[in-house]
Amino acid sequence: MEYQIYVGTIMKIKKGLMKKSFRILYCGMSNENTFVMSPLTTSGYQGFSPNIYYKADSRVIQILNRDFDVIEVTPEYIILGD
């Protein structure tokens, strides 16, 4: 399955049959060689969202112990695959 996430958009992803879903935010490209993803983590009324920086030429990234294929990265959107 492919996920196209635009800058500032939160995508809810459920990967695996028995896994919990999680939310992820694409923050865009901080420069031409780096893009930023931010998983949203909550527990009760508290939450945090760390920024994770990846190289723009990365083919596989890991977010919250789940692997995703990077199909395309632009400053406006990113396409991730299972």
Q: Where are the domains of the chain?
A: 2-81
Q: How confident is the model at residue 75 (pLDDT cuts 50, 70, 90)?
A: very high
Give the type of residue at 76: E
Give dist(CA 49, CA 15) in Å, integer: 19
Confidence of residue 64 (pLDDT cuts 50, 70, 90): confident
**Residue 47 predicted with pLDDT over 90:** no
The model's pTM is 0.85
Q: Residue 25: phi, psi to the nearest 5?
A: -125, 130
Rounded Cα gap, residues 24 and 12, in angstroms: 7
3-state secondary structure of 19: coil
- Distances, alpha carbon 77 to alpha carbons 2, 18, 47, 60, 74, in Å: 13, 28, 25, 16, 5
